[in-house]
Structure 1
Amino acid sequence: MRIPAIIFFLLFSFFYKVEAQEIVELTLEEALQYTLENNVNVKNAQLETLISKATVKETTASGLPQINGNFDLNYNPAIPVVFLPNEPPFGDPNIPSDVIPARFGVSYQSNLGANLRQMIFDGSFFVGLRAAKTYKQLTDLDLIKTENDAIEAVKKAYFGVLVNLERIRLAEANLARIDTLLSETQALNQAGFAEKIDVSRIQVQRNNTYSQVERARTSLEVSEQILKLQMGLPMEYDVRPNETLAELNPIEELNALLIDEGVERIEVAQLNTNIELIGLDLKNNQAQYMPTIDFIANAQRSGAGNTFDTVFDKQNWFGSSLLGVSMQIPIFDGLLKSARIQKNRIQIQQLENQRNFLRESIKNEVFSAKSTLENDLLILTVQRENLELAREVYDIAKIKYQEGVGSNLEVVDADAALVQAEFNYLSALYDGLIAKVDLEKALGILKNDIIN
């Protein structure tokens, strides 16, 4: 069962104002909950399930009694003439013609009645009812698939925002280090203990770092727009994750995924349902060879009069009724049903081939995703060690420079190496999370972490 989405609560309980921009702080779980209620594709898939429910009702209604009423009032400005032979014993010798014109009818006629038709047997109806229910199952599966796609997109977009936030933090921290080093070097230069080229070298490094900060800020804005679009969050809000990449990347969970066997993918269930639908269409076409039987009933009262004010007189109205059974027997349709049956059988073979290929593709996808995750975990370990070493080298280089036994070139090089190590470690964290999402998708367990 899905956890209820936090809609306005998220918007108005976690936001604060910064330069007239409402910032919404979200955990990944809250972002996913919001997505399942507000993503446009998910909402359309939910509406499609409602359409399928109505389709089931529509199909069921065709097998229930169909009752229709009718009323009509007719006026004959000129009553039709019927010609009779002017012959004995009914002939009229006063009429010179060999025919006698006779008018049968009155000027006004009215009918009031009701008709009932109830299906007794129609093989197509029962097959159609099963098909409608199976179609409902298919739309439910389509909804799950759409939710999975939305979850995958939001997770990756959420991680993208986290990465850019971390890049900004690292770039700003590096800029602060460079600014401090630049100030110290400028002071040494003014005191005659450092050359002008030392100041220029650090100034170049400072300019490059400043550019990194600005690029990271631009990337953050773009990634936030993507996240809001995928979530269905209005663009006037500013979204901020309140988690870190490290918090979302527990090694134990990643290692557990590597031995997880997963479940049957929703795509396989969709294909199975489509095969079932084609099979039902095949049965429907076969049922067309059988007769259809309906019960019919009719009750009617008719009235007439030569003037409008007499047509509704009680004594001018008479009743009639009818009960019967109607049977329609198909005889020959030019082999139309046979062609449809042949087409259904070929379609089933196509879908079975697709299913076999899909299962093999999923096995390959799981293998590739696990291999990628294992490789990313190895790289993550290496990059963590490199980061620790780069920090140690930078600290040593800075101490040596401050004590006058090292050059600022060593500090600049060590700082550049530290920045590179920080970004490499950040990229390794991000790659690990993306690989985790890809593996969850391959295993068919993408929604498990947000379902009770």
Structure 2
Amino acid sequence: MRNTLWLICFGWLYTVAIQAQEPQANAKYSFTLDEAIEFALENSYQSINARQDVAKALKRKWETTADGLPQIEGVLDYQNQLKQQPLLLPAFDGSGGFDEFFTPQQQVSATATLRQLIFDGSYLVGLEAAKSFLQFNNDSEEKVQLEVRKGVINAYGSVLVAQESVAILKNNVNTLEKNYLETKKIFENGLAEEEDVEQLQITLLQIKNQLSNAERLEKIALQMFNLTIGIDVDSTVVLSDDLDSLAMKNIDKSINATPFVIEDNVDYRLAYLLTEQRRLEFKLEKSRALPKLSAFINYGTAAFDDDFVFLDSETRWFQSSVLGASLSIPIFSSLRRSARSQQAKIAFEQSNTEFIKTQQEIQLQYNSALSDYQLSVENFETSKQNLTLAERIEKKNQIKYSEGLATSFDLRQAQLQLYSSQNEVLNAMLNIINKKAELETILNTPNKNK
């Protein structure tokens, strides 16, 4: 009985382990747009690497800081003079010759040294640069988060458009097949022209091809979405939001009144930090003309013998200790330091010019993004009106065609116009979502609302 229980427990644990090792592709997910953004900010490949960059920057800051803190090192040396060199000293008997002396063949020494940097101008600049570098990585991570958010919105909208497109095309195919079969029966009864059947058949084949392509694009769009949020491309995903409500949610005609604070823009802050980096490089070159002061103290012990007796308790050890300081003063470098300082100064001035240019480019990006967003809203309103008109025209032509008052060519033109209007509405809704995300990225709206 006990063996049976052990087998059951082992089988259960084995099953759990196997299930835990199943590929992520078998996982199933369901996301609203906000949930997808939150998931991607935590799990997307870009977000993970951005967090690692910040972690590296923190370690680099401490590395720089540690250079000015006490440093302790220990050294343990062992020497065995396989072939001893004699030490020649004048003979004590006054003969004018030399007496040979030999030092002990083996030697062991242990030394511990404490070093402390007291003053170094380049170290102080390095501390300031490390802090700036950390801030640069934090802002870079924020930029990655904004780009990930925008990418998720674009991918999410693309999937919804692909799904809506498939649904609309399937409905169009059903309608066309019904018209085609009815017209074919009428033709077989001798009450319609063969051209009427052929016109409908041409349209039906075109829409079927579009449907097949739309179904393939839907699969690709889902895989792109999975890649964007950081899951296996073949994972099963259900999107909870619908395209129409998402587009309406992103229509904000008051956004024009939102003030643009350029200092909130992450590209502005990154450009400023690059300028700050050039300033610190200039400051570093100037600091090289300052003296450098450091101190140290050490303690050591050593033992000497012709035999290896260093582990014996009777072995005599000789102790020593040294306290010292070092002051390095740059005096003359044949204007080398001056040349390097002037180069750094010129680079700093260039960065200031580039920073001004960057501010103008960011302002232009904002103006362009705002204009594109306003145009997307206007196009959406226009496309909805066009769709309503196209539906009415197609319906009228359906009636006229069934009553013999319109040709199959007229009906086909009306149908194609309707299908084009349907596609324009889908693209207009996606455009609103994408352009709003682009504008919010420039405004840094997501992070300002945190």
User: What letter matches 2:66 in structure 1?
Assistant: A
Q: 1-side partners of 2:309 and 2:417: how far apart? A: 107
User: Which residue in the other structure is 1:306 paired with?
Assistant: 306
User: Which residue in the other structure is 1:212 paired with?
Assistant: 210
User: Which residue in the other structure is 1:297 paired with?
Assistant: 297
User: Which residue in the other structure is 2:381 paired with?
Assistant: 381
Q: 1-side partners of 2:257 and 2:149: how far apart? A: 23
Change (3 A) 1:39 1:74: same
Partners of 1:305 and 1:316 within 8 A in 2: no
Does residue 36 of the first structure (1) align with residue 41 of the second (2)? yes
Change (3 A) 1:258 1:111: same
User: Which residue in the other structure is 2:15 paired with?
Assistant: none
User: Which residue in the other structure is 2:117 paired with?
Assistant: 119
User: Which residue in the other structure is 2:159 paired with?
Assistant: 161
Report the CA distance between 1:252 and its aligned residue.
7.1
User: Which residue in the other structure is 2:442 paired with?
Assistant: 442
1:121-160 correspondence to structure 2 within 5 Å = 121-160=119-158
Partners of 1:257 and 1:439 within 8 A in 2: no
Does residue 196 of the first structure (1) align with residue 201 of the second (2)? no
Does residue 72 of the first structure (1) align with residue 74 of the second (2)? no
CA RMSD between the two structures: 2.5
Does residue 260 of the first structure (1) align with residue 265 of the second (2)? no
TM-score, normalized by length of structure 1? 0.86
Partners of 1:109 and 1:311 within 8 A in 2: no
Report the CA distance between 1:174 and its aligned residue.
0.8
Secondary structure at 2:245 match in 1: coil
Count residues in correspondence. Answer: 425
Partners of 1:38 and 1:232 within 8 A in 2: yes
Report the CA distance between 1:327 and its aligned residue.
1.5
Q: 1-side partners of 2:250 and 2:76: how far apart? A: 77
Structure 2's unaligned 5+ residue stretches are: 1-18, 20-24
User: Which residue in the other structure is 1:7 paired with?
Assistant: none
Q: 1-side partners of 2:308 and 2:447: how far apart? A: 75
Report the CA distance between 1:213 and its aligned residue.
0.6
User: What letter matches 1:305 in structure 2?
Assistant: D
Change (3 A) 1:317 1:399: same
Alpha-carbon displacement from aligned partner over 1:225-276 (angstroms, at most 9, x marks no partner): 3222222221221434332222122277431322222333111101111222
User: Which residue in the other structure is 1:179 paired with?
Assistant: 177
Q: 1-side partners of 2:194 and 2:271: how far apart? A: 72
Q: Which segment drifts farther, 210-219 or 427-436?
A: 427-436
Partners of 1:81 and 1:101 within 8 A in 2: no
User: Which residue in the other structure is 1:16 paired with?
Assistant: none
Report the CA distance between 1:195 and its aligned residue.
2.4
Equivalent position to 2:226, from 220, 228, 237: 228
Report the CA distance between 1:297 and its aligned residue.
0.9
Does residue 61 of the first structure (1) align with residue 63 of the second (2)? no
Secondary structure at 2:93 match in 1: coil
Q: 2-side partners of 1:181 and 1:115: how far apart? A: 95
Q: 2-side partners of 1:121 and 1:418: how far apart? A: 79
Q: 2-side partners of 1:80 and 1:297: how far apart? A: 32
Q: 1-side partners of 2:207 and 2:354: how far apart? A: 52
User: What letter matches 2:400 in structure 1?
Assistant: K
Q: 2-side partners of 1:377 and 1:220: how far apart? A: 25
User: Which residue in the other structure is 2:235 paired with?
Assistant: 237
Change (3 A) 1:253 1:100: same
Secondary structure at 1:194 match in 2: coil
Report the CA distance between 1:114 and its aligned residue.
1.5
Q: Which segment drifts farther, 202-211 or 223-232?
A: 223-232
User: What letter matches 2:232 in structure 1?
Assistant: P
User: Which residue in the other structure is 1:415 paired with?
Assistant: 415
Report the CA distance between 1:312 and its aligned residue.
4.9
Change (3 A) 1:74 1:164: same
Partners of 1:59 and 1:129 within 8 A in 2: yes
Report the CA distance between 1:46 and its aligned residue.
1.0
Partners of 2:250 and 2:432 within 8 A in 1: no
Report the CA distance between 1:150 and its aligned residue.
2.1
User: Which residue in the other structure is 2:10 paired with?
Assistant: none
1:46-57 correspondence to structure 2 within 5 Å = 46-57=51-62
Does residue 278 of the first structure (1) align with residue 278 of the second (2)? yes
TM-score, normalized by length of structure 2? 0.87
Report the CA distance between 1:410 and its aligned residue.
3.7
Identity level (%): 27
User: Which residue in the other structure is 1:91 paired with?
Assistant: 93
Structure 1's unaligned 5+ residue stretches are: 1-11, 13-19
Report the CA distance between 1:403 and its aligned residue.
4.5
Report the CA distance between 1:129 and its aligned residue.
1.3
Q: 2-side partners of 1:375 and 1:329: how far apart? A: 66
Report the CA distance between 1:200 and its aligned residue.
1.6
Partners of 1:45 and 1:142 within 8 A in 2: yes
Q: 1-side partners of 2:447 and 2:298: how far apart? A: 58
Alpha-carbon displacement from aligned partner over 1:165-214 (angstroms, at most 9, x marks no partner): 12111111111111111122122223332222222221111111111111
Change (3 A) 1:43 1:315: closer
Q: Which segment drifts farther, 242-251 or 271-280?
A: 242-251
